[in-house]
Amino acid sequence: MALNYLSLGTFDLAIASVLVILNGALSFFLGLGLERQLLIATLRMIVQLALIGLVLKTLFALSSPGWTGFAALIMILFAGREIMARQERRMTGFWSYGLGTGCMLLAASLVTIFALTTQVRPDPWYDPRYALPLLGMILGNTMTGISLGLHSLLTGLVRDRSAVEAQLTLGATRWQATLPVTRNALRSALMPIINTMAATGLVSLPGMMTGQILAGAEPMEAVKYQMLIMFLIAGGTAFGSISAVLGAVYWLTDARHRLRLERLRQP
């Protein structure tokens, strides 16, 4: 079925930008001091979206597995940088960047390839028109889950250091001693996607579903795609968060069942 959508012009976007200008004016009159940050964020958004639009247009025209894979790798590397930047306490060495990035690479790639080869099935399966948007949605949510999970774990181990070391002294293994902190970290990582799934449809209409409806798709067809995306996001978030949290526990303990918090950088 051919999709019909209403094209937006520059004037339409200019009218909508008045709302952002009003936000800046309110910040100025209320003394919030956010107008400069708002201006920079708006300009960055405009430039970044314009550039990604040109890049995607080129990638869609090329439909090359090499270029599609390269674009996906760049997305994952930048997402890994965001995970590291969001940590109040960071691990030393390559683990600070490599753990979150590696787990996200594994989780998001496997889930995206799974969707492309079993449910969506474009021809070819690596078609960037499908692969990159799917990866982007899975990547964004997986990044958030891993960030929250690692933040909760690292701060929890520092906070509960005495309790963990007491259990290790009494003969508990490193996995047993860190289990309460690990559980709290995984709850923190998975709660956002659980809340999102619970509210989807009743409280909010997600972006993909809304975009398809605006483009002319049948509502039930848009609903099916949104369900698929939520299932994929939930799987990717859980897979990435669990592997990252358990990997961090492994790195911050050793084979002699000792807590090794010296492997964390000082805040």
- Whether residues 124 and 41 fall in one domain: no
The whole-model pTM stands at: 0.86
Boundary-marking domain end, from 44, 62, 80: 62
Q: The tokens of 102 are what?
A: 């590696």
What domain count does the chain have? 2
Q: Are residues 20 and 121 in the same domain?
A: no
* pLDDT band for position 5 (cuts 50, 70, 90): low
Domain end among 41, 62, 83:
62
CB neighbour list of residue 209: distance below 8 Å, 6 or more residues apart: 222, 223, 225, 226
Q: Is the pLDDT of residue 2 over 60?
A: no
- Residue predicted with more confidence, 205 or 32: 32
How high is the pLDDT of residue 1?
Answer: 47
pLDDT in tens, 90-129: 888 888 899 999 999 999 999 999 999 999 999 899 999 9
Across 26-40, 84-98, 200-214, the highest mean pLDDT is recorded for: 26-40
Q: 11, 46, 62: which is the final residue of a domain? A: 62
Same domain, 175 and 211: yes
- Per-residue burial over 59-85, b if 16 or more Cβ lie within 10 Å, else e, is beeeeeeeebeebbeebbeebbebbbe
Please give the pLDDT value at position 4.
64
- When pLDDT is cut at 50, 70 and 90, the band that residue 157 belongs to is very high
Across the range 219-243, mean pLDDT stands at: 92
Does one domain contain both 156 and 249?
yes
Let me know whether 120 and 31 are in one domain: no
Domain containing 44 equals 1-62
